[in-house]
A and B are shown apart, each in its own frame.
Chain A
């Protein structure tokens, strides 16, 4: 055996599952982080063309239907108010979608839709009944591109605003979900604010 042949064989022993032109046994995964097995593969370093591309498509939710409540509302894209809080449509009859967060069909994170429980413009709104929702109730959301998504309620809770977990409500990394928010609990007429947030979580149906 020549030394060069020995050197050539050594790498073959180390790596038995690297894709090549020749047939090889199928490898379950070629991920650097999750395959600590006896035959490590090349580091799986993602590469991408760094050329300038357009904005990633975010599908704005435009209509919210909850049959259990007989609720059918328009949704408008909203940002922030002057105090850095989420802005909402003036009318309690119209819901707002936090446009900086995930949209419809997002791969991860919470699509946040909120509405006034009551407003100076049109009184008590449909979201005043969010606390009547039971787990399993179906929520339909239609997006700006004509597509729709079905969710089912997984949790309804009331949280004091002081403790309201905004980072969690506006999470962009967790499993995809729809989060509906309004106010609830005691209304403090000295500040003009309710003391609680009603936070409803819904998870995608069949997906």
Chain B
């Protein structure tokens, strides 16, 4: 075990070096990569460009986000006692193309028929409207197509592995069930309370295996997508302005302004005449 830790550390050093070079060479915005383990029952290692990056990665664990310079990375998933990215391979290697400033989640999961697979999702980080949050649902389970049912109706229909559905919703708690496509019940998962937080993309993964009776939900959140209110209209009558020595009320305010300009103009004229008068004297 100790030798594995050392190997991983050396790999980490190499990984850092590899990432540092492109970072300094361009002004590109880093991409954000998260990794979700959604294959039941196996602990794995994750290798990026041949380098051990996630050691002893367990199911239902979300790693990241890891800031990476935009580039294409080769990712392999192996058994947890593998000695290299090509030893005891569970998945891959697959190429992940990370674009400038992109936000991604790579998911190790089961296909609808139960085989290990990797899904690569681009996360929607566009702004949410004030008062709203975003709910993304992703089917990465060994199960047929499903519906997401909330409030007695399907809000996402016929979602198949490895697809996603995206909803922008008023912030609040949604009680949702996952059912076989075209049905309202029975629930394959849930009902579960999912918090749709304002300004946050809440990404819910249905994972596991229907046949093995271990379907479950995993959640990832991406914060900071909020839009502020359009303003703060915090006065209605003008009484405070009228009562204040510094404030002013409109109609009069504008009139005072205009009158003030007249006064200033008159004053200027008066000064000029005075000056002229003095000269004449």
Contacts and interface: CB of A to CB of B under 8 A. Distances in A.
B240 A169 contact: no
Interface string B215-240: 01111100110101111111111111
B16 A32 contact: yes
Contact of A21 (B2, B199, B250): B2
B131 interface: yes
Contacts of A100: 130-131, 171, 198-199, 226
Interface string A178-193: 0001111111111011
Contact of B16 (A40, A47, A184, A197): A40
Contact of B236 (A10, A53, A120, A127): A120
Interface stretch (B115-123, B153-161, B187-195, B258-266): B187-195
A45 B66 contact: yes
A190 B250 contact: yes
Interface string B172-215: 01000000000000000000111101110000110000000000
Nearest to A173: B224
A188 B2 CA distance: 74
Given A120-B237, A189-B238, A15 B6 contact: yes
B144 interface: no
Contacts of A183: 232-235, 240
Interface residues of B, number: 70
A169 B16 contact: no
A42 B6 CA distance: 10
Contacts, number: 214
Contact of A123 (B193, B228, B237): B237
Which of B67, B194, B224, B241 has the most CB atoms of chain A within a 10 A radius of its CB? B241
Contacts of B129: 84
A85 B16 contact: no
A106 interface: no
Interface residues of A, number: 72
B8 interface: yes
Interface string A3-30: 0000010111011001011000000000
Q: Say what secondary structure dominates the interface of chain B.
A: mixed
B61 A47 contact: yes
B232 A169 contact: yes
Contact of A186 (B64, B130, B230, B249): B249
A46 interface: yes
27 contacts: A11-B6, A15-B12, A32-B12, A43-B15, A43-B66, A45-B54, A46-B63, A47-B57, A52-B193, A52-B194, A56-B195, A79-B131, A84-B130, A84-B230, A85-B229, A88-B233, A100-B131, A100-B198, A118-B236, A128-B240, A170-B228, A187-B238, A187-B240, A187-B253, A189-B250, A190-B251, A197-B231
Question: Considering the complex of A and B, which 9 residue pairs feature the smallest CB-CB distances, nearest first?
Answer: A187-B238, A183-B235, A11-B10, A42-B12, A50-B218, A170-B228, A100-B198, A50-B62, A15-B9
Interface of B: 2-3, 5-10, 12-13, 15-17, 20, 36, 53-54, 57, 60-64, 66-67, 129-131, 171, 173, 192-195, 197-199, 204-205, 216-220, 223-224, 226, 228-244, 247-251, 253
